[in-house]
Structure 1
Amino acid sequence: MKKAIKIIFILVLIGSLGFLGFFVYQKTDNPTQTFETDSTFVTNIEKKTVATGSINPRKEIEIKSQVSGVVDKLFVEAGDNIKAGQLIAKIKIIPDVVALNNAEANLKEAVINFKNAEKELTRQKKLFHEKVISEFEYNQYLLTYNLNNQQVDAAENNLQLIKEGASKKSGAVSNLVRSTVSGMVLDVPVKEGNFVIETNTFNDGTTIASVANMNEMVFEGKVDEAEVGKLVEGMALKLTVGALDSVEFIANLEYISPKGKEEEGAIQFEVRAAITLQSDQFLRAGYSANADIVLERKNDVLAIKESNLFFEKKKVFVEVLIEGEKFERREIKTGISDGINIEVLSGLTSEDKVKQI
């Protein structure tokens, strides 16, 4: 009897374990799936492009020396605000040997010609008073005398300019470098003791200082060829400066390059925008900046998250919750997108919920 009860108990235990295993298998084979959903919503959408570039003064003037020599004294440094005509530097002139020799030779020749003309004029003056020559002939010798006198003055002035950079009569001192504009000194690339070359038709000369009006700043950047056709002069830009994260500047697009340049395998077009600065705002030259350019904007449109879309054969679909845990695939028409949200033109209502993907 006891043996029969034991056998029955073992059979019941085996049956229970079998039923439990079958139940677990069924649950594993057909797991219950749950999905998160997103509701449609009404929002404003802006389609933007971004131009990367830098902040620069509209006009930056390079002040150069009119003579060659050595920087004897500097009177300004970067960051100084100066006026037009203000003294920037003094150049100690080191005369060119060939030019100096030529100037000295020209002066000697001019002096010799003047002395000869003076002697001849004295002789001809005596003959004129004795009525040997006419007044016309005498005036010719007087003219030659005056011309030779002027040549001596010109030769002396030229020699003094070469030696000292100063004209004896005019008093013009070319070895003193003065600013041609008012503004802020951005850079002084030379130091006292540096040799500088004069600016002329054969070379640009050495820059003594760079000066710019820091109240007139522009954004200079580049836009990809895929977006440049959508830009129009006069568009408003929102500038974000890398060094000033919390400050946003407004600029007005004023130039779009008619010719693109290839950079890293892509065609880029240069753009320029005038920056509007408030009285208490200051931008340093060379700041890196990004410009948000609004290509299109729509207000109060029905939208969904763009990440919930999927595409088949150039058509756009979403999965719409219809009841309980059931979804149906539905084709929709879309409008503009800002990369996160996308406008829904048709196919959804404000009550619909779509499956998160």
Structure 2
Amino acid sequence: MRKKVLIGIGVAVIIALFVGISIFRAASKGNPTVETVKMKEKEITGNVMIPGTLQLMNEQKIYYDAERGKVKKILVNEGDKIKKGTPLVIYENEQLELEKEQAKLSIEQSYIKLDQINEQLEDLKKKEEELKKQVGKEEAEKQIENEKNQLQMDKKMTNLELKQQKIQKETVEKKISELEVKSEVDGIVITVDEDASVAMGENVKPLIHIGSLNKMKVEGVISEYDSLKIKEGQPVVLKSDVVPDAKWKGKVLKIGILPQQGSEMAAETGNEAVQYPVEVLVQDQNIPVKPGFKLIMEIETERKKANVIPLTAVQQDDNQQYVYVVKNGKITRKEIKTGTSTDEYIEVTSGLTKDDEIVREPSDEIKAGVEVTIK
């Protein structure tokens, strides 16, 4: 009997303990605690973020040109540092050499013909002097007139032929000079592919690819809307997923006047928006990424002072933005209008005063009318 009494007392103590703990927890829980901030003036920047591809700023790709003939010799190797004007490739073209020789022979023949005509004119002049003594000046000129006119006409035609032959020779010589392809930029030989001369169709590759690794750009496209905000010279921050914590400086170099090829037609049919090409100059040197890498361009479109609050404070309800404000110890909901945003802050254009106590990071239990304690 005594044992049962002791067990009953133990159960009662345990129950009382649990009830006490529950009461203590309920009492200690009290009102939710929140951290508040006030709207403040801060300099912020507006950004447009677009993807792009890293490219060489100055480069040249030399493709096989069948019209020039066969590749006789490639004069550079991969890794060679070259200057503008350095010979890169020499073609050989037997047909052009034959045309050059033919032009030289034609010119020589014309000079011989001119010499013969001039000799004939000299002989005719002597003949005219003899006739003058025999039949008089007027009769002498009359007798040699037809022959003299014919020789002068032959001389004129031969001079025209000679002029045409010289032009032809210059044209052939110019084509021959173009058999030696030279570099148009300073830089380094990136690739040399001797087999490129036999590639066809979509598999065509350059014989030689040269470029300057010290100067690079990022190419991308922007929308119609962004094209109105982006201007040449605006600062740009460049990032890469391959190097997560790195940032590099750049500036807007060029914005296309005309839409990207194909996008204008697509826009006319309603399939997609018009896009404009944009180029950004990489200002940092020796960046650890290579041409072809995908980069993110954060283009700064504006810089201004504005009234801002933390992004974490702003809530969204359909198309309406709002924040929670503590007033007299209770939560009040205030609808706001916003403007430019950054990674941490957002501009408030209306709806708040600088005295409002705004909940920095409202939790799920924060609702309008809830009593709270401010940290």
Name the TM-score class by shorter chain: 0.5 to 0.7
Answer yes or no: is the 8 Å Cα contact 2:77–2:192 preserved in 1.
no
Contact in 2 for aligned 1:110/1:148 (Cα 8 Å):
no
Residue type at the aligned position of 1:356: P
More strand by share: 1
> What residue number does 1:331 align with?
334
**1:138 paired residue number:** 148
Query: Are the aligned partners of 1:222 and 1:268 in contact in 2 as well (CA < 8 Å)?
Result: no
Deviation at 1:7, TM superposition (A): 7.7
Q: Is residue 85 of structure 1 aligned with residue 82 of structure 2?
A: no
Aligned to 2:46: 47
Secondary structure of 1:275 counterpart? strand
Q: Structure 2 length normalisation: TM-score?
A: 0.60
In the superposition, the TM-score normalised over structure 1's length comes to: 0.62
Aligned partner letter, 1:222: V
Select 1:191's aligned residue among 181, 189, 194: 194
Residue 346 of structure 2, aligned match among 342, 346, 350: 342
Q: Does 1:275 align with 2:285?
A: no
Shift of 1:176: 2.2
SS in 1 for 2:229: coil
Match of 2:323 in 1: 317
Q: 1:224 to 1:23 in 2, by over 3 A?
A: farther
Q: Which has the higher helix share?
A: 2
> Residues 145-204 of structure 1, C-alpha deviation per residue, up to 9 Å, x if partnerless?
57548858976996x899xx658xxx963422233x3422565665289369xxxxxxxx
Query: Structure 1's 116 and 273: CA in aligned 2 closer, same or farther, altered over 3 A?
Result: closer
Measured against aligned partners, the alpha-carbon deviations of 1:281-324 in whole angstroms (never above 9, x if no partner) come to 5796545332212344455845234256353783513263865x
C-alpha root-mean-square deviation of aligned residues, in Å?
5.5
Shift of 1:74: 1.6
Q: What are the equivalent positions in structure 2 for 1:176-255 lying under 5 Å apart?
A: 176-179=180-183, 181-184=184-187, 190-191=193-194, 194=197, 209=208, 217-225=216-224, 227-240=226-239, 246-252=246-252, 254-255=254-255
CA contact 2:232–2:255 (8 Å) conserved in 1: yes
Deviation at 1:50, TM superposition (A): 0.6
The SS at the match of 1:231 is coil
- In 2, are the aligned partners of 1:233 and 1:256 still within 8 Å (CA)? no
How far is the alpha carbon of 1:125 from its aligned partner?
Answer: 6.0
Equivalent position SS for 1:306:
helix
Give 2:236's aligned amino acid: L
Which 5+ residue runs of structure 2 have no aligned equivalent? Answer: 129-139, 200-204, 364-375
CA contact (8 A) 1:310 1:318 kept: no
Q: C-alpha distance in 2, partners of 1:8/1:193?
A: 101
CA shift for structure 1 position 45? 4.0
Distance across 2 between alignment mates of 1:143 and 1:62: 53
Q: State the SS of the aligned residue for 2:317.
A: strand
Contact 2:62 2:209 in 1 (8 A): yes
Distance 1:79 1:34, change over 3 A: farther
Deviation of the 1:23 alpha carbon: 6.9
Letter of the 1:328 partner, please give it. I
d(CA) in 1 for partners of 2:328, 2:359: 8
- The one-character-per-residue Cα deviations of 1:34-60 (angstroms, maximum 9, x if unpaired) are 756333265654332212213445565
